[in-house]
Amino acid sequence: NAFAEPAPIMAVLHRTFIARLSRLKGKTALVTGSTSGIGLGIAKALARQGANIVLNGFGDVDGPRAEVLAAGQAAGAQVAYHGADMSRVADIEDMVQYSVRNFGQIDILVNNAGIQHVARVEDFPPERWDSIIAINLSSAFHTSRLVLPMMQAADGGKGWGRIINVASVHGLVGSAQKSAYVAAKHGIVGLTKVTALENATSGITCNAICPGWVLTPLVQKQVDAKAEQHGISNEEAKKLLLGEKEPSMQFTTPEELGELAVFFCSPPAANVRGVAWNMDGGWAAQ
């Protein structure tokens, strides 16, 4: 029966295909703020490579969990979820312990959770400032300080780990009305450099990704505000937003950012340390 067994050549091709799919098999990635947008895109890309994923974030969990499971199915990735509020240190500690209980180790840490608020400095509500600094900056310090000791013990004490901080082009340049966000993102680029330097002789790298505009719920709010402010359509508001800052006139996608995260986790990226890597359609080149 010709259909009972795959032909040998097919079996080899199948094994090669699965091996190429499973470059992160056996690794565990904790991705903060991964129930939506960029975090979800990165979680799916890492799962596609076989990494087990700990999801985190607010809102619907079943939908994102199903998407990540589907992305990682062929490579056998497992998915867990913890609802830590990244502004609360005790929650972050609990999430790290939960991840280790579930998967034994955290090998890849993606600090992605973030929020935005737009107002001039003199009008900026102090409690919004505090939340943005806590969620967009301090949470990355807490996850990193908790995860680094286990990364340093990995690979027989030589250390292995990947820390990817989702900063922003606003980690490199400013924009009016975004004081807390720009301060937090410049801060996380600094934290990235120091973390990279402190682990530079080990297998642990730390790098930042600096996206320009990505059409996620975080940015859709700013598109809606522009549409209302100028009495224009959603499409016109998107063009206006891109035209102000992004020479390519294109949004970067969560899928593209996911593939950059996969590259940072790959062997050829072993000596990429402490960079702030833009994917911004030329925004910061101006």
Residue 106's nearest CA partner among 61, 46, 167 is 46
Q: Which of residues 68-107 bind ligand NAD (CB under 6 A)?
A: 85-87
Q: Is 216 in the site for ligand NAD (CB under 6 A)?
A: yes
Phi-psi region of 284 (alpha: psi -120 to 50; beta: other; left: phi over 0): alpha
Minimum CB separation from ligand NAD for residue 148, in Å?
20
Q: Is 211 in the site for ligand NAD (CB under 6 A)?
A: yes
Q: Is 58 in the site for ligand NAD (CB under 6 A)?
A: yes
Alpha-carbon distance of 148 to 142, in angstroms, equals 10
Q: Is 214 in the site for ligand NAD (CB under 6 A)?
A: yes
How many residues are listed for the chain in this entry?
286
Q: Is 39 in the site for ligand NAD (CB under 6 A)?
A: yes
Q: Is 113 in the site for ligand NAD (CB under 6 A)?
A: yes
How does 242-256 read in b/e, with b if 16+ C-beta sit within 10 Å? beebbeeeebbbbee
Site string for ligand NAD, 225-264 (x = CB under 6 A): ----------------------------------------
Whether 81 is catalytic: no
SS3 (DSSP) at 20: helix
Q: Is 115 in the site for ligand NAD (CB under 6 A)?
A: yes
φ and ψ at residue 55, rounded to 5 degrees? -85, 155
Alpha-carbon distance of 7 to 226, in angstroms, equals 59
Choose the catalytic residue: 129, 181, 251, 283: 181
Q: Is 42 in the site for ligand NAD (CB under 6 A)?
A: no
CA distances to 71, 115, 159, 187, 241 from 137, in Å: 29, 11, 25, 7, 25
Minimum CB separation from ligand NAD for residue 132, in Å?
9
Minimum CB separation from ligand NAD for residue 112, in Å?
5
Name the residues that contact ligand NAD, by CB under 6 A.
33-39, 56-59, 85-87, 112-115, 135-136, 166, 168, 211, 213-214, 216-219
Catalytic residue numbers read 181
